[in-house]
């Protein structure tokens, strides 16, 4: 009873907290950008030439690609000597390292290199506006094209607008460290296990070696090019009079005199994975990657995770676009903006409050359902992607959609009052969101439940179990793993069907033998219905059933690897244990 009360209190506190959070989703407009312009990235590797894997890291950085939603400022010089050394006591990303990295980027003239890249300036001062125009057109929305077409200068204005994208140039300086082979990792794990086994006087069990390749860590430093109107004016002063060329000496002098050519943005620390499954494993690739290919994978994985964190932390990297139509909800974004299956977007509307301030209020949450490939669409005639609503209020045309990534994970805590009951813990992962295949809300779920319950029992002398016929308390633990498909409707409701395999184990009954255990396997299926409390908190009910599969198994003690099948089914042992169940839970989305 105490546990039940604690659980109910936990639900009420969670709901109160999230309702409060929902009310604080109103922010001032000047803190919430309506427009979106593509950012561009350059990758610069900190080189530790005397360390292992430095040659392969240098090769890998030259092959690293920028995600499609960003432009790639593919500079020729992508490697600089590190201004600090790796040590066992270093605090990666600390203030001193950040300052030294920023100074190194400045002293290596990367601001000037970016400007010359954008304008394609050669040693003789010849330049080209092709890249600026191309990116200006690619970044333009249909609304901007329609507006430009109505003006005298026409689409030349859009080409000129490409110059503004220069201010969205970023350098990501990457430091890969603590790189170890999987053999080194497994050897360390075995050494730790062996030491623990000797200390506890237990059997040493070596770790299963299922992967090969490399694991490491990445510290990345994000810098933004300082390119304001004043610096832009200085740039145009470097042109020769009456000549279609740039004076490189003037341009160099300008950037030598800029006090802050870069603005430091943030530092991130992430894991980097460059592994693959060994031959013979279920998920092993048909052809094993080479060592260089695995280092390439490690470099790309680290950068991808760093950029994902940066997108979450900085609004300017999140895609924004108007709602183009409703019923269904559509917007002019797609693969060009890096849109993937079930990608989450918040919907905002703008209004004035009683004080006359313009505020942005969150009106709803949508996810991508059908993604268009707009990478080669005709300018001014961009195709649309389709979205479905998962939370919020009525959405109207013209409201602002803003990308808001999530992890595609959910956790549930609940209670089931029937025979197959107890406290329930559930987790899910959105497979479609991770694998980007064209089906929304397909999830892998996992359940775990525990229950203490009394049952009248008989004597099972043939398997060595002796239990009095009086009711005794049994400790049940239950698990289930399966596939679930969710359907959202009426803005704040969802319904799902699921099916999978399950098992239940009983232990710790009144017996003189420790570690005895009974178990069974089952098939699990049913349906769930949920309602939103907030966009990421839901109340959910589950109705399902278990179908007992085959005979029960008996294990004499906890050290036995496999149970022995006995001549009883689960419902013959635990008479009247109904396979139907019903639970109520609180689900939190991440």
The tens digit of pLDDT for each residue in 152-185 reads 454 455 555 667 888 899 999 999 999 999 999 9
**Domain membership flag for residue 532:** yes
**Domain membership flag for residue 172:** yes
**Domain membership flag for residue 375:** yes
The pLDDT value recorded for residue 8 is: 44
The pLDDT value recorded for residue 545 is: 93
Q: What is the pLDDT of residues 483-514, one digit of tens each?
A: 999 999 999 999 999 999 999 988 765 554 45
**Domain membership flag for residue 154:** no
The pLDDT value recorded for residue 363 is: 92
Q: How far apart are the first and last CA of the chain?
A: 30
Least confident of 315-319, 351-355, 388-392, 563-567: 351-355
Which residue bears the tokens 């069990």? 205
Last residue of a domain, one of 280, 313, 346: 313
Structure tokens at 294: 């695995």
Return the top range by mean pLDDT from 36-50, 114-128, 240-254, 480-494: 480-494
**Domain membership flag for residue 206:** yes
Which residue has better confidence, 147 or 132? 132
Query: Same domain for 83 and 199?
Result: yes
This prediction has a pTM of 0.80
Torsions phi, psi for 523 (to 5 deg)? -105, 135
Domain tally, the chain: 3
Handedness of CA 480, 481, 483, 489 (dihedral sign): positive
Write out the DSSP string of 319-357. -EEEEEETTTEEES--GGGT--TT-EEEEEEEEE-TTS-
The pLDDT value recorded for residue 340 is: 92
Would the pLDDT of 136 be above 70?
A: yes
d(CA 55, CA 156): 45
Query: Same domain for 74 and 219?
Result: yes
Please give the DSSP secondary-structure letter assigned to residue 240. P
Would the pLDDT of 452 be above 80?
A: yes
Query: Same domain for 490 and 540?
Result: yes
Query: Same domain for 461 and 571?
Result: yes
Query: Same domain for 470 and 548?
Result: yes
What percent of the chain shows pLDDT beyond 70? 83
The pLDDT value recorded for residue 253 is: 84
Query: Same domain for 87 and 185?
Result: yes
Query: Same domain for 492 and 555?
Result: yes
- Containing H/E element for 198? helix 182-200
Handedness of CA 242, 244, 249, 254 (dihedral sign): positive
Q: What is the pLDDT of residues 234-249, one digit of tens each?
A: 777 787 766 678 888 8
The pLDDT value recorded for residue 428 is: 96
Count of residues making up the chain: 590
Cross-strand partners of 214: 181, 274
Return the top range by mean pLDDT from 132-136, 198-202, 530-534: 530-534
The average pLDDT across 77-94 equals 86
Query: Same domain for 469 and 534?
Result: yes
Torsions phi, psi for 561 (to 5 deg)? -75, -45
Which residue has better confidence, 509 or 261? 261
The average pLDDT across 467-491 equals 84
Query: Same domain for 367 and 492?
Result: no
**Domain membership flag for residue 202:** yes
The pLDDT value recorded for residue 11 is: 44
Query: Same domain for 428 and 504?
Result: yes
Query: Could you tell me whether strands 358-370 and 27-28 are parallel, antiparallel, or unpaired per DSSP bridges?
Result: antiparallel
Q: What is the pLDDT of residues 327-339, one digit of tens each?
A: 999 999 999 999 9
The pLDDT value recorded for residue 341 is: 93
Torsions phi, psi for 32 (to 5 deg)? -140, 105
The CB-side HSE value for 13 (13 A sphere, CA atoms) comes to: 6
CATH of the domain at 487: 2.40.160.70
d(CA 143, CA 154): 13
Last residue of a domain, one of 382, 403, 424: 403
Which residue has better confidence, 257 or 22? 257
Would the pLDDT of 31 be above 50?
A: no
SS3 for 485?
strand
The pLDDT value recorded for residue 24 is: 36
Domain of 578 in residue numbering reads as 407-589
Are 42 and 172 spatial neighbours (Cβ–Cβ below 8 Å)? yes
As a three-state string, the secondary structure of 275-327 is: EEECCCCCCCCCCCCCHHHHHHHHHHHHHHHHHHHHHHHCHHHCCEEEEEECC
Query: Same domain for 344 and 452?
Result: no
Which residue has better confidence, 107 or 242? 107
Q: CB count, 10 Å around CB of 78? A: 16
Given pLDDT bands bounded at 50, 70 and 90, which one contains residue 87? Answer: confident
Last residue of a domain, one of 403, 424, 455: 403
Given pLDDT bands bounded at 50, 70 and 90, which one contains residue 553? Answer: confident
Are 70 and 38 spatial neighbours (Cβ–Cβ below 8 Å)? yes
Please give the DSSP secondary-structure letter assigned to residue 207. P
Distance, C-alpha 319 to centroid of its chain:
16
Q: What is the pLDDT of residues 341-398, one digit of tens each?
A: 999 999 998 776 677 676 778 899 999 999 999 988 777 788 999 999 999 999 999 8
**Domain membership flag for residue 436:** yes
Write out the DSSP string of 134-153. HHHHHH--HHHHHHHHTSSS
Which residues have CB under 8 Å from 167's CB, separation 6+? 225, 227, 228
Query: Could you tell me whether strands 169-181 and 40-47 are parallel, antiparallel, or unpaired per DSSP bridges?
Result: parallel
**Domain membership flag for residue 351:** yes
Distances (CA, A) of 87 to 83, 91, 177, 178: 13, 9, 10, 10
Which residue has better confidence, 453 or 580? 580
The average pLDDT across 538-544 equals 96
Would the pLDDT of 29 be above 50?
A: no
Query: Same domain for 490 and 374?
Result: no
Question: In whole numbers, what is the pLDDT of the chain averaged over residues?
Answer: 84
């Amino acid at each position: 009873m105490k546990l039940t009360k604690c659980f109910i209190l936990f639900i009420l506190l969670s709901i109160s907290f999230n309702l409060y959070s929902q009310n604080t989703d109103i922010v001032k407009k000047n803190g919430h950008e309506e427009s979106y312009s593509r950012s561009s990235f350059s990758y610069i590797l900190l080189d530790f030439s005397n360390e292992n894997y430095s040659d392969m890291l240098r090769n890998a950085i030259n092959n690293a690609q920028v995600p499609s939603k960003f432009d790639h400022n593919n500079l020729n010089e992508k490697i600089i000597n590190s201004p600090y050394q790796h040590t066992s006591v270093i605090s990666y990303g600390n203030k001193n390292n950040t300052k030294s990295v920023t100074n190194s980027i400045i002293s290596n003239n990367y601001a000037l290199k970016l400007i010359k890249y954008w304008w394609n300036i050669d040693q003789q001062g010849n330049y080209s506006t092709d890249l600026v125009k191309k990116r200006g057109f690619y970044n333009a929305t249909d609304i901007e094209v329609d507006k430009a077409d109505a003006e005298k200068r026409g689409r030349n204005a859009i080409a000129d607008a490409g110059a503004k994208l220069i201010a969205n140039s970023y350098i990501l300086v990457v430091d890969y460290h603590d790189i170890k082979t999987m053999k080194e990792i497994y050897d360390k794990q075995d050494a730790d296990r062996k030491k623990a086994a000797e200390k506890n006087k237990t059997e040493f069990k070596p770790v299963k070696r299922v992967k090969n390749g490399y694991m490491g860590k990445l510290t990345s430093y994000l810098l933004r090019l300082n390119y304001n109107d004043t610096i832009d004016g200085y740039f145009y002063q470097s042109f020769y009079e009456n000549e279609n060329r740039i004076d490189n000496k003037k341009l160099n002098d300008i950037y030598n005199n800029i006090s802050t050519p870069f603005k430091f943005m943030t530092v991130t620390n992430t894991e980097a994975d460059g592994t693959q499954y060994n031959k013979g494993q279920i998920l092993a690739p048909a052809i094993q990657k080479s060592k260089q290919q695995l280092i390439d994978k490690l470099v790309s994985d680290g950068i991808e995770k760093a950029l994902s964190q940066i997108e979450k932390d900085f609004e300017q990297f999140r895609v924004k676009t108007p709602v183009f139509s409703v019923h269904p909800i559509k917007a002019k974004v797609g693969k060009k903006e890096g849109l993937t299956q079930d990608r989450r977007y918040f919907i905002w509307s703008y209004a004035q409050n009683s004080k006359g301030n313009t505020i942005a209020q969150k009106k709803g949450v949508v996810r991508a359902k059908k993604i268009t490939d707009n990478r080669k669409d005709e300018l001014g005639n961009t195709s649309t992607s389709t979205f479905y609503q998962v939370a919020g209020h009525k959405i109207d045309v013209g409201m602002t959609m803003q990308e808001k990534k999530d992890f595609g994970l959910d956790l549930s805590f609940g209670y089931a009052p029937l025979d197959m009951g107890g406290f329930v813990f559930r987790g899910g992962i959105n497979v479609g969101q991770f694998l980007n295949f064209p089906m929304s809300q397909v999830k892998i779920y996992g359940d775990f439940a525990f229950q203490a319950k009394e049952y009248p029992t008989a004597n099972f002398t043939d398997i060595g179990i002796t239990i009095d016929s009086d009711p005794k308390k049994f400790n049940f633990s239950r698990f289930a793993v399966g596939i679930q498909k969710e359907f959202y409707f009426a803005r704040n409701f969802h319904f799902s069907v699921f099916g999978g395999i399950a098992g239940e184990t009983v232990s710790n009954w009144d017996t003189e033998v420790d570690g005895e255990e009974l178990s069974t396997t089952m098939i699990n299926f049913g349906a769930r219905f949920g309602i939103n409390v907030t966009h990421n908190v839901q109340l959910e009910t589950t109705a399902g059933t278990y179908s007992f599969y085959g005979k029960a198994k008996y294990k004499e003690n906890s050290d036995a690897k496999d149970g022995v099948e006995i001549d009883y089914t689960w419902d013959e042992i635990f008479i009247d244990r109904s396979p139907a169940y019903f639970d109520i839970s609180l689900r939190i989305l991440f």
